[in-house]
Amino acid sequence: MSNKLKTIIVSIVCALVTIALIITIFFLAEVNRKLATPTNLMVVDNLPEGEIILQVDENPKAEKYVFSIEREGRKQNLVSLENYISATNYFEETGSYLVACRVVGKTNGSISEFCETVEYIVKTKLATPNFELDLENNRFVFSTVTGATGYELIYGIAENGEVAKLTESRYYGEVGKRYFDLTTLNKGSYTLRLVAKATNYDDSDLTAPIAYTKTEKLLAPTNVQFSNQTKVLSFNSDWHSFSVVAYYEGSELTKTITIEDQATEHSLNLTSYLTDDVARLEITAIGNEFEFTTNSDKVTWQNA
Protein backbone atom coordinates (compact mmCIF):
# COMPACT_ATOMS: atom_id res chain seq x y z
CA MET A 1 0.00 0.00 0.00
CA SER A 2 1.37 3.35 -1.02
CA ASN A 3 2.03 6.09 1.47
CA LYS A 4 -0.52 8.27 -0.25
CA LEU A 5 -3.27 5.72 0.23
CA LYS A 6 -2.31 5.25 3.86
CA THR A 7 -2.52 8.96 4.34
CA ILE A 8 -6.00 9.08 2.82
CA ILE A 9 -7.23 6.21 5.01
CA VAL A 10 -5.82 7.77 8.15
CA SER A 11 -7.45 11.07 7.25
CA ILE A 12 -10.82 9.38 6.74
CA VAL A 13 -10.57 7.52 10.04
CA CYS A 14 -9.67 10.72 11.87
CA ALA A 15 -12.53 12.52 10.26
CA LEU A 16 -14.97 9.78 11.28
CA VAL A 17 -13.64 9.78 14.83
CA THR A 18 -13.96 13.54 14.97
CA ILE A 19 -17.53 13.42 13.69
CA ALA A 20 -18.40 10.70 16.22
CA LEU A 21 -16.92 12.75 19.03
CA ILE A 22 -18.85 15.81 17.92
CA ILE A 23 -22.11 13.84 17.77
CA THR A 24 -21.41 12.26 21.17
CA ILE A 25 -20.64 15.61 22.76
CA PHE A 26 -23.73 17.18 21.22
CA PHE A 27 -25.88 14.27 22.34
CA LEU A 28 -24.51 14.37 25.86
CA ALA A 29 -25.00 18.12 26.03
CA GLU A 30 -28.59 17.76 24.84
CA VAL A 31 -29.27 15.04 27.42
CA ASN A 32 -27.69 17.12 30.13
CA ARG A 33 -29.63 20.22 29.12
CA LYS A 34 -33.11 18.73 29.67
CA LEU A 35 -33.46 18.21 33.39
CA ALA A 36 -36.45 16.45 34.83
CA THR A 37 -39.54 18.62 35.30
CA PRO A 38 -40.11 19.50 38.98
CA THR A 39 -42.68 17.41 40.83
CA ASN A 40 -45.14 17.99 43.67
CA LEU A 41 -45.35 21.76 43.44
CA MET A 42 -47.18 23.06 46.52
CA VAL A 43 -48.34 26.41 47.85
CA VAL A 44 -47.99 26.00 51.62
CA ASP A 45 -50.17 28.55 53.44
CA ASN A 46 -50.86 26.93 56.82
CA LEU A 47 -47.80 28.48 58.44
CA PRO A 48 -47.60 30.86 61.43
CA GLU A 49 -48.22 34.57 60.87
CA GLY A 50 -49.72 33.93 57.44
CA GLU A 51 -46.46 33.08 55.64
CA ILE A 52 -46.81 31.47 52.19
CA ILE A 53 -44.07 29.18 50.81
CA LEU A 54 -43.68 27.69 47.33
CA GLN A 55 -42.09 24.26 47.34
CA VAL A 56 -41.20 21.37 44.99
CA ASP A 57 -39.40 18.07 45.39
CA GLU A 58 -35.62 18.45 45.58
CA ASN A 59 -33.57 17.73 42.43
CA PRO A 60 -29.92 16.71 43.08
CA LYS A 61 -28.87 18.12 39.69
CA ALA A 62 -30.39 21.52 40.41
CA GLU A 63 -28.30 24.59 41.02
CA LYS A 64 -31.35 26.79 41.47
CA TYR A 65 -35.13 26.75 41.22
CA VAL A 66 -37.20 29.29 39.30
CA PHE A 67 -40.72 29.76 40.63
CA SER A 68 -43.19 31.54 38.37
CA ILE A 69 -46.23 33.45 39.70
CA GLU A 70 -48.81 34.70 37.20
CA ARG A 71 -51.90 36.81 37.90
CA GLU A 72 -54.12 38.43 35.26
CA GLY A 73 -51.43 37.99 32.60
CA ARG A 74 -48.63 39.50 34.72
CA LYS A 75 -45.82 37.05 35.51
CA GLN A 76 -43.02 37.23 38.05
CA ASN A 77 -40.11 34.82 38.49
CA LEU A 78 -38.57 34.12 41.89
CA VAL A 79 -35.17 32.40 42.03
CA SER A 80 -34.08 30.23 44.95
CA LEU A 81 -31.03 28.09 45.64
CA GLU A 82 -33.30 25.81 47.64
CA ASN A 83 -36.32 23.83 46.51
CA TYR A 84 -38.59 26.32 48.30
CA ILE A 85 -39.01 30.06 48.65
CA SER A 86 -41.05 32.44 50.81
CA ALA A 87 -43.51 34.33 48.62
CA THR A 88 -45.94 35.92 51.07
CA ASN A 89 -45.67 39.42 49.62
CA TYR A 90 -46.63 38.22 46.15
CA PHE A 91 -50.11 37.08 47.20
CA GLU A 92 -51.49 40.23 48.80
CA GLU A 93 -54.26 41.01 46.30
CA THR A 94 -57.49 39.06 46.09
CA GLY A 95 -57.74 36.84 43.02
CA SER A 96 -56.52 33.73 41.21
CA TYR A 97 -52.78 33.01 40.83
CA LEU A 98 -51.06 30.41 38.62
CA VAL A 99 -47.83 29.04 40.09
CA ALA A 100 -45.20 26.94 38.23
CA CYS A 101 -41.55 25.93 38.67
CA ARG A 102 -38.55 24.92 36.58
CA VAL A 103 -35.06 23.72 37.52
CA VAL A 104 -31.74 25.17 36.33
CA GLY A 105 -28.89 22.62 36.40
CA LYS A 106 -25.34 22.84 37.63
CA THR A 107 -23.89 22.64 34.10
CA ASN A 108 -24.17 25.37 31.51
CA GLY A 109 -27.40 25.31 29.60
CA SER A 110 -29.09 22.56 31.60
CA ILE A 111 -32.69 23.50 32.39
CA SER A 112 -36.02 21.76 32.80
CA GLU A 113 -39.46 22.54 31.47
CA PHE A 114 -41.92 24.38 33.73
CA CYS A 115 -44.11 21.97 35.63
CA GLU A 116 -47.89 22.02 35.34
CA THR A 117 -49.34 25.15 36.94
CA VAL A 118 -51.06 25.09 40.31
CA GLU A 119 -53.91 27.55 40.92
CA TYR A 120 -53.89 29.40 44.23
CA ILE A 121 -56.82 31.64 45.16
CA VAL A 122 -56.33 34.51 47.59
CA LYS A 123 -59.41 35.49 49.57
CA THR A 124 -59.48 38.46 51.90
CA LYS A 125 -61.82 38.37 54.88
CA LEU A 126 -65.05 40.34 54.71
CA ALA A 127 -65.64 43.03 57.29
CA THR A 128 -67.93 42.15 60.19
CA PRO A 129 -71.38 43.76 59.81
CA ASN A 130 -72.82 46.14 62.39
CA PHE A 131 -76.24 45.19 63.74
CA GLU A 132 -79.04 46.02 66.16
CA LEU A 133 -82.22 44.41 67.42
CA ASP A 134 -85.54 46.03 66.58
CA LEU A 135 -87.63 44.42 69.31
CA GLU A 136 -90.78 46.35 68.44
CA ASN A 137 -90.90 44.77 64.98
CA ASN A 138 -89.02 41.55 65.80
CA ARG A 139 -86.22 42.30 63.35
CA PHE A 140 -82.48 41.75 63.31
CA VAL A 141 -81.23 44.86 61.46
CA PHE A 142 -77.69 44.94 60.02
CA SER A 143 -75.44 47.02 57.77
CA THR A 144 -74.22 45.47 54.53
CA VAL A 145 -70.46 45.15 53.92
CA THR A 146 -68.45 45.63 50.73
CA GLY A 147 -67.99 42.44 48.72
CA ALA A 148 -70.58 40.35 50.54
CA THR A 149 -73.11 38.50 48.41
CA GLY A 150 -75.04 36.87 51.23
CA TYR A 151 -75.62 36.82 54.98
CA GLU A 152 -76.50 34.04 57.41
CA LEU A 153 -78.14 34.56 60.78
CA ILE A 154 -77.13 31.78 63.17
CA TYR A 155 -79.47 31.32 66.12
CA GLY A 156 -78.29 28.15 67.84
CA ILE A 157 -77.33 24.52 67.51
CA ALA A 158 -79.80 22.00 66.12
CA GLU A 159 -80.52 18.70 67.86
CA ASN A 160 -78.19 16.88 65.46
CA GLY A 161 -75.32 19.20 66.42
CA GLU A 162 -75.42 21.28 63.23
CA VAL A 163 -75.47 25.05 63.30
CA ALA A 164 -79.05 26.29 63.09
CA LYS A 165 -79.48 29.10 60.55
CA LEU A 166 -82.43 31.29 59.78
CA THR A 167 -83.30 29.65 56.47
CA GLU A 168 -87.04 30.14 56.95
CA SER A 169 -86.81 33.76 55.84
CA ARG A 170 -84.53 35.70 53.57
CA TYR A 171 -83.34 39.13 54.57
CA TYR A 172 -85.18 42.27 53.49
CA GLY A 173 -84.60 46.00 53.27
CA GLU A 174 -82.50 48.23 51.06
CA VAL A 175 -78.81 48.18 50.17
CA GLY A 176 -76.79 49.39 53.13
CA LYS A 177 -79.44 48.48 55.69
CA ARG A 178 -81.16 45.12 55.70
CA TYR A 179 -82.93 42.94 58.24
CA PHE A 180 -83.96 39.39 59.07
CA ASP A 181 -87.57 38.81 60.04
CA LEU A 182 -87.47 37.08 63.45
CA THR A 183 -91.19 36.35 63.48
CA THR A 184 -90.39 33.11 61.64
CA LEU A 185 -88.69 31.76 64.79
CA ASN A 186 -90.66 29.68 67.25
CA LYS A 187 -91.11 31.15 70.72
CA GLY A 188 -88.07 30.67 72.95
CA SER A 189 -84.66 32.10 73.87
CA TYR A 190 -81.93 32.49 71.25
CA THR A 191 -78.36 33.68 70.91
CA LEU A 192 -78.07 35.44 67.55
CA ARG A 193 -74.89 35.82 65.46
CA LEU A 194 -74.50 37.10 61.91
CA VAL A 195 -71.85 36.22 59.30
CA ALA A 196 -71.25 37.86 55.89
CA LYS A 197 -70.36 35.55 52.99
CA ALA A 198 -69.05 35.80 49.41
CA THR A 199 -67.53 33.54 46.77
CA ASN A 200 -64.23 35.41 46.37
CA TYR A 201 -63.76 36.36 50.03
CA ASP A 202 -63.35 34.53 53.28
CA ASP A 203 -66.38 34.71 55.55
CA SER A 204 -66.45 37.60 57.99
CA ASP A 205 -66.00 37.04 61.69
CA LEU A 206 -69.21 36.26 63.52
CA THR A 207 -70.82 39.26 65.15
CA ALA A 208 -70.81 39.37 68.94
CA PRO A 209 -73.59 37.14 70.32
CA ILE A 210 -76.78 38.88 71.36
CA ALA A 211 -79.62 37.35 73.38
CA TYR A 212 -83.13 37.46 71.92
CA THR A 213 -86.36 36.15 73.40
CA LYS A 214 -89.20 35.40 71.01
CA THR A 215 -92.56 35.55 72.76
CA GLU A 216 -95.96 34.57 71.49
CA LYS A 217 -99.02 36.72 72.12
CA LEU A 218 -101.84 34.55 73.40
CA LEU A 219 -105.06 34.32 71.47
CA ALA A 220 -107.97 36.07 73.14
CA PRO A 221 -110.72 33.86 74.64
CA THR A 222 -113.73 33.31 72.40
CA ASN A 223 -117.44 32.60 72.80
CA VAL A 224 -117.63 34.40 76.15
CA GLN A 225 -120.93 34.01 78.03
CA PHE A 226 -121.97 34.98 81.60
CA SER A 227 -125.14 34.84 83.68
CA ASN A 228 -125.69 37.12 86.68
CA GLN A 229 -128.20 34.58 87.98
CA THR A 230 -125.90 31.56 88.03
CA LYS A 231 -122.63 33.51 88.16
CA VAL A 232 -121.21 31.00 85.63
CA LEU A 233 -118.65 32.32 83.15
CA SER A 234 -117.96 30.19 80.09
CA PHE A 235 -115.54 30.72 77.21
CA ASN A 236 -113.16 28.85 74.92
CA SER A 237 -109.34 29.04 75.06
CA ASP A 238 -106.38 26.68 74.69
CA TRP A 239 -104.61 28.55 77.49
CA HIS A 240 -104.81 27.91 81.25
CA SER A 241 -104.38 31.17 83.16
CA PHE A 242 -106.84 34.08 83.01
CA SER A 243 -107.59 37.41 84.60
CA VAL A 244 -111.24 38.43 85.02
CA VAL A 245 -112.07 42.02 85.95
CA ALA A 246 -115.66 42.56 87.09
CA TYR A 247 -117.36 45.99 87.00
CA TYR A 248 -120.47 46.14 89.21
CA GLU A 249 -123.86 47.65 88.35
CA GLY A 250 -124.21 51.25 89.46
CA SER A 251 -120.81 51.30 91.13
CA GLU A 252 -117.20 52.21 90.39
CA LEU A 253 -116.02 49.15 92.32
CA THR A 254 -114.17 46.48 90.41
CA LYS A 255 -112.85 43.04 91.29
CA THR A 256 -109.93 41.23 89.66
CA ILE A 257 -109.90 37.43 89.69
CA THR A 258 -107.00 35.26 88.55
CA ILE A 259 -108.07 31.79 87.49
CA GLU A 260 -106.13 28.66 86.56
CA ASP A 261 -108.02 26.13 84.46
CA GLN A 262 -106.55 23.37 82.25
CA ALA A 263 -109.66 22.81 80.12
CA THR A 264 -110.14 24.18 76.60
CA GLU A 265 -113.89 24.77 77.04
CA HIS A 266 -113.94 26.69 80.30
CA SER A 267 -117.00 26.86 82.56
CA LEU A 268 -116.20 28.71 85.79
CA ASN A 269 -118.56 29.28 88.71
CA LEU A 270 -117.76 32.73 90.12
CA THR A 271 -120.32 32.67 92.94
CA SER A 272 -117.63 32.81 95.60
CA TYR A 273 -116.08 35.82 93.89
CA LEU A 274 -119.10 37.81 92.73
CA THR A 275 -122.05 38.51 95.00
CA ASP A 276 -123.73 41.39 93.24
CA ASP A 277 -124.76 41.75 89.64
CA VAL A 278 -122.01 42.95 87.33
CA ALA A 279 -122.31 45.29 84.39
CA ARG A 280 -119.24 44.20 82.54
CA LEU A 281 -116.53 41.52 82.57
CA GLU A 282 -113.10 41.84 80.94
CA ILE A 283 -111.28 38.55 80.34
CA THR A 284 -107.57 38.31 79.43
CA ALA A 285 -105.40 35.24 78.88
CA ILE A 286 -102.33 35.85 81.10
CA GLY A 287 -98.91 35.08 79.67
CA ASN A 288 -96.04 33.25 81.39
CA GLU A 289 -92.43 34.33 80.85
CA PHE A 290 -91.19 30.77 81.37
CA GLU A 291 -93.42 29.65 78.53
CA PHE A 292 -92.47 32.67 76.39
CA THR A 293 -96.04 34.00 76.19
CA THR A 294 -97.54 37.46 76.64
CA ASN A 295 -101.07 38.58 77.54
CA SER A 296 -103.85 38.35 75.01
CA ASP A 297 -106.12 41.20 74.05
CA LYS A 298 -109.06 41.82 76.39
CA VAL A 299 -112.44 40.33 75.64
CA THR A 300 -115.45 42.16 77.09
CA TRP A 301 -118.82 40.74 78.20
CA GLN A 302 -121.44 43.48 78.60
CA ASN A 303 -124.70 43.05 80.46
CA ALA A 304 -127.59 43.61 78.09
pLDDT in tens, 53-75: 999 999 999 999 999 999 988 99
Interatomic CA distance for residues 47 and 84, integer angstroms: 14
What's the chain's average pLDDT?
A: 85
> What domains are there in the chain, each with its CATH number?
36-122 (2.60.40.10), 125-214 (2.60.40.10), 217-302 (2.60.40.10)
pLDDT confidence of 253, banded at 50, 70, 90?
Answer: low
70 with 78: CB under 8 angstroms? no
Interatomic CA distance for residues 114 and 109, integer angstroms: 15
Q: What is the pLDDT of residues 108-157, one digit of tens each?
A: 778 999 999 999 988 888 999 999 999 989 999 999 998 888 899 988 76
**Whole-prediction pTM:** 0.58
245 with 224: CB under 8 angstroms? no
From 58, 52, 37, select the one nearest 97 (Cα to Cα): 52
Asked if pLDDT for residue 251 goes beyond 80, the answer is no
From 204, 301, 295, select the one nearest 258 (Cα to Cα): 295
